[in-house]
Amino acid sequence: MIRFLYADQLDAFPTLRDAMFRDRADQFKRRLGWDVSVDTDGFERDDYDDLNPLYVIWETPDGGHGGSMRFLPSTGRTMVNDHFAHLADTQISSPAIWECTRFCLAADAPPNVSALLMLAGSELMTRFRVTHFVGVFDARMVRIYQRIGASPEVLGSVGDGRDQISVGLWSFTEPALLRLQKRAGVSLEMSRYWAMRAFGDSDKTEWAA
């Protein structure tokens, strides 16, 4: 299932939390060779994990980490604005644009997990009137995004070949959402249900009842 968890809520899920930071180390340091720091626990964490970001995590049926991504509002500090503004040609700051980074898949993740994560991301867009995600990704991710039918539009890139790093934007049209659903293997009702569990529905008792 998909979990939407702010950093300060992760401690309630220690196994999932630790697996996510280890899988990030595995993906970004070992497999991709990015210049990221891994601590003595084997966790890949950066400054942006300290800003209480919102993580969208695919929790496997046995409670493990299947994949995840990290969101921050572009009105506060973001990686794109701090380090990649020259690629995007602008400081991207709007309540309607959230930054999505550290898109990570566990090494043994089944092929539908990337689509599941993106579908969950689209729930954030609908619920919170977010029109775009802005993110930083490398050449390998471009292929993954293409495969699930959720290609970002590249605003700017640096480097060549597999070392190319790009800044791009996502937004989902109705047909794109249908493709994502198909790839994810779950219905929109399901992803809506996960978001509802995290952020609520509308038939709870009044706060002052």
Q: Which residues bind another protein (CB under 8 A)?
A: 6, 8, 52, 54, 72-73, 75-77, 89-97, 124, 127-129, 131-132, 134, 153, 155, 169, 171, 173, 199-200, 202-209
The two three-digit tokens of residue 149, written as one number: 């039918």
Q: How far is the CB of 122 from another protein (least distance, A)?
A: 14
Is the CB of 72 or the CB of 115 nearer to another protein?
72
Q: How far is the CB of 102 from another protein (least distance, A)?
A: 17
Is the CB of 66 or the CB of 168 nearer to another protein?
168
Q: How far is the CB of 183 from another protein (least distance, A)?
A: 20
Is the CB of 108 or the CB of 153 nearer to another protein?
153
Is the CB of 40 or the CB of 173 nearer to another protein?
173
Is the CB of 27 or the CB of 68 nearer to another protein?
68
- Calculate the dihedral angle through the C-alpha atoms of 46, 52, 96, 147, rounding to the nearest 10 degrees: 50
Instruction: Compute CA distances 200 → 61, 84, 121, 122, whole Å.
Output: 23, 35, 16, 16
Q: How far is the CB of 154 from another protein (least distance, A)?
A: 9
The two three-digit tokens of residue 56, written as one number: 């969208």
Is the CB of 19 or the CB of 97 nearer to another protein?
97
